[in-house]
Amino acid sequence: MSSAVRRARRPSGGRDQLLETAVGEFITRGYDATSMEDLSRAAGITKSSFYHHFTGKEALLRAALERAVDGLFGVLSLPVAQTGGPAQRLRAIVSEQVRVLMRELPYVTLLLRVRGNTETERWALERRRAFDAAVTGLVREAVEAGEVRADVDPALAARLLSGLVNSIVEWYRPGRPGSATLPDDVVNAAFTGIVPAPTDRA
């Protein structure tokens, strides 16, 4: 079990800590397979105490996914994401998206695992599609401005960027070596590549 999940399972009666506990259980067991009994046991409190803070599993899931979604859409409203040329803004968005993932690792992990089985999950998937659409539009602007290759399909590029960032949840752990430069490293790999240009190899 990852350190992020173990951290999310600390027993506590506070609302934020209960949400962390629930996220850890959802990631470990799967949302559908997790009962309120499982959650109250993991938190070390009674079910009635849990219900004092949340009306049920769906409310917990909604609160967790809202935290991840709000973090992503907050990136789009940052000054660095709204100033400069489209390619510059795109780089800033990818960098800040990585920072959100690092900061909200369990919540983003849960967001990436929803499959649309509940109303809340369908809402989260729709918000993810809206975020991807915003990135696609920015890639299209960059192509039109001559800042990205004309033969690049904006939708494909947006999916590839999203896949690159989202894959980080599978291996990133807080405090690991290189964490401080990870956002810049991801941006450089995405926009500059990992193979040196011919002039660099000469």
Domain ranges of the chain: 1-54, 62-195
| 72 in Cβ contact with 100 (< 8 Å) | yes
Q: Tell me whether residue 123 is exposed, middle or buried, using C-beta atoms within 10 angstroms of its C-beta: 0 to 12, 13 to 18, 19 or more.
A: middle
Choose the weakest-confidence range: 35-39, 95-99, 112-116, 195-199: 195-199
Tokens in use for 61? Answer: 């899931």
Model pTM? 0.87
Q: Is the pLDDT of residue 4 over 80?
A: no
Q: Is the pLDDT of residue 18 over 70?
A: yes
Give 136-185 pLDDT, tens digit per residue: 999 999 999 999 999 989 999 999 999 999 999 999 999 889 899 999 99
Helix boundaries (H) for 14-171: 15-29, 36-43, 47-53, 57-76, 86-103, 105-113, 119-144, 154-166
- Report the distance separating Cα 7 and Cα 141, nearest Å: 41
Mean pLDDT of the chain: 90
% of the chain beyond a pLDDT of 90: 80
Q: What is the pLDDT of residue 199?
A: 64
More confident call, 42 vs 8? 42
Mean pLDDT of 61-67: 97
Q: Give the amino acid at 37.
A: E
Q: Do 62-195 and 1-54 have the same topology in CATH?
A: no
Rg for the chain, CA atoms, rounded: 19
Tokens in use for 18? Answer: 């209960």
Phi, psi of 118 (to 5 degrees): -130, 170
Mean pLDDT of 24-48: 94
- Report the distance separating Cα 195 and Cα 182, nearest Å: 18
Q: 1-54: which CATH number, 1.10.10.60, 3.90.1010.10, 1.25.40.10, 3.30.450.20?
A: 1.10.10.60
Mean pLDDT of 75-103: 96
- Report the distance separating Cα 65 and Cα 69, nearest Å: 6
Which residue in 60, 110, 90 sits closest to 154, CA to CA?
A: 90
Considering the segment(s) 62-195 as one domain, its CATH architecture is: Orthogonal Bundle (1.10)
Q: Is the pLDDT of residue 6 over 50?
A: no
Mean pLDDT of 76-87: 96
- Report the distance separating Cα 95 and Cα 107, nearest Å: 18
DSSP state of 177: T
Confidence of residue 54 (pLDDT cuts 50, 70, 90): very high
